[in-house]
Amino acid sequence: MDVSVKRLPKSKAELSVSIPWEEWQEEIGHAVEHLSKSVKIEGFRSGKIPREVLEKKLGKATVLIEGAEHAIDHLFPKVIHEAKVDAIGKPEIRLDDVNEGESLCFTVTTDIMPEAALGGWEKAARSVNAKYAKDKTEVSEEEIGKELERVARSRAKLVTVNRAAKDGDAVEVDFTVSRGGVPIEGGTGRKHPIVLGSGAFIPGFEDAVIGMEADEEKTFTLTFPDEYHEKTLAGKPAEFAVKLLLVQEQEIPELTDEFAQSLGRFENLEVLRASVREGMHSEKDEQRKETHRTEILDAIVAETKAELPDVLIEGELRRMISEFGQQAAMTGLSLEDYLSRMGKTEEDLSTEWRPQAGKRILSQLALESIAKEQDIDVATEEIEAEMNKVLAYAKSVKQAEKDLDLTAIYAAIRERSRNEKVLVYLETL
């Protein structure tokens, strides 16, 4: 097999391929077998039609071209290996004249993984690290106090009271939202719970409920915010008919040793306070770490150049939209319903997110290039240990092999683990 490679702009390659007759002649037999199953000729069983009969019926060129296509399908992985290119997407193949006893010649045009030109990545990383070396994680007493208050409020008892609702009360309401006397879709609620002052409803709604008493009814007009998720209502006025059903006062427990002990594993308030401090410190450390890494990658990507083929960007956009759909599902909505509420389509997201998709690809290319340059890799034992964790969720290895693409999982774990090692390395520069 002879393969020559010509690099083209926009991360494409043209492969000129020549396969000797000795390497592809047996594919003629496979072509005859395949064609004889799709052609009906009186006197012959399906799949048992001789080549000479098929050639008389279909023409010799048809049989040869079918054989050539079989050869290309079977030998294409070897072609890519010989060419030493990382092909992606669907290739375009142009077949030259096919003649029996002669080499099979064809041309392949394919997208390939782009090569990243990193630029001054070390300097960029060091610059970000210098900034974070001066930025230490701190948790103030005020922050700890607010978190303790939040914990106490989460344990508050609700006591029904016979008075006008005020800020901080928990209430239940029936409501109907109308425009021009017609209720809007999804604009009716029954026994809907609200904590007044929480900002759960559009601005002005909770303020209008404050001062109402149980069984009182009230009608008022509010304007939806300009950035409201339902675009047909954004910036538009609507009439709200509300009936207050119940007013409950929140009895928030005092921050005492007894309260700390009621949470189950704290001897006193100081032990609880120390646990809150430690938890908040860990959370801030994690947030700082993620922000630090994001800034490092942003700085490196700004220095990185690569020609990104459309097929790569489209694939990344599909992944991003799939991730977005999974997030929507966590709210109980399908992707279509969520987008409808936002007044958008998948095409809108693709257009808006295209720059971000390119940035994500550049980030991955940069990490891969740095890993190669610095000889950073992951030991097989580490990857297998992570794979065993994945397989532990399956009923059996046999079931896992049936349901899961183990090769893809191996590659994904290797990539994730290697990226982590590269990021740790970058943080230490």
Contact 39, 54 (CB under 8 A): yes
Domain residue spans of the chain: 2-112, 157-251, 374-429
Count of Cβ atoms closer than 10 Å to residue 226 Cβ: 8
The domain made up of 157-251 has a fold known as Chitinase A; domain 3 (3.10.50)
Would you state the structure tokens that stand for residue 227, as one six-digit string?
């950035």
Q: pLDDT category, 389, cuts 50, 70, 90?
A: confident
State the residue for tokens 């532990």: 392
State the residue for tokens 């990185």: 304
pTM: 0.73
Task: State the virtual CA torsion across 79, 82, 83, 87 in degrees, nearest 10.
Answer: 60
Would you state the structure tokens that stand for residue 346, as one six-digit string?
């998948």
In a 13 Å sphere around the CA of 49, the CA atoms on its Cβ side amount to 24
Side chain identity at residue 318, one-letter code: R
Average pLDDT over residues 128-151: 92
pLDDT at 253 over 70: yes
Would you state the structure tokens that stand for residue 308, as one six-digit string?
């990104």
Would you state the structure tokens that stand for residue 4, as one six-digit string?
């020559």
d(CA 8, CA 397): 44
CATH of 2-112, one of 3.40.50.720, 1.20.210.10, 3.30.365.10, 3.30.70.1050: 3.30.70.1050
Give Cα 25 to chain centroid, integer Å. 46
- 179-223 pLDDT, tens digit each: 988 999 889 999 999 999 999 899 999 999 999 999 999 999 999
Helix (H) or strand (E) holding 213: none
Q: What is the pLDDT of residue 279?
A: 96
Q: What is the pLDDT of residue 408?
A: 83
pLDDT at 349 over 80: yes
Q: What is the pLDDT of residue 399?
A: 60
Average pLDDT over residues 58-62: 90
Contact 222, 209 (CB under 8 A): no
Contact 117, 98 (CB under 8 A): no
By the 10 Å C-beta count (0-12 exposed, 13-18 middle, 19+ buried), 66 is classed as buried
Buried b (16+ CB within 10 A) or exposed e, 167-177: eebbbbbebbb
Average pLDDT over residues 9-32: 91
pLDDT at 344 over 80: yes
Q: What is the pLDDT of residue 34?
A: 86
Average pLDDT over residues 367-377: 95
Would you state the structure tokens that stand for residue 184, as one six-digit string?
């809007």
Q: pLDDT category, 407, cuts 50, 70, 90?
A: confident
Q: pLDDT category, 339, cuts 50, 70, 90?
A: confident
Q: pLDDT category, 342, cuts 50, 70, 90?
A: confident
Q: What is the pLDDT of residue 409?
A: 86
Q: pLDDT category, 398, cuts 50, 70, 90?
A: low
Lowest mean pLDDT among 37-51, 56-70, 113-127, 221-235: 37-51
DSSP alpha helix (H) spans, 267-345: 269-303, 310-329, 335-342
Per cent of the chain over pLDDT 90 is: 71
Average pLDDT, the chain: 91
Helix (H, G, I), strand (E, B), or coil: what is residue 254? coil
Would you state the structure tokens that stand for residue 399, as one six-digit string?
């079931």
Q: Give me the phi and psi of 288, to 5 degrees please.
A: -65, -40
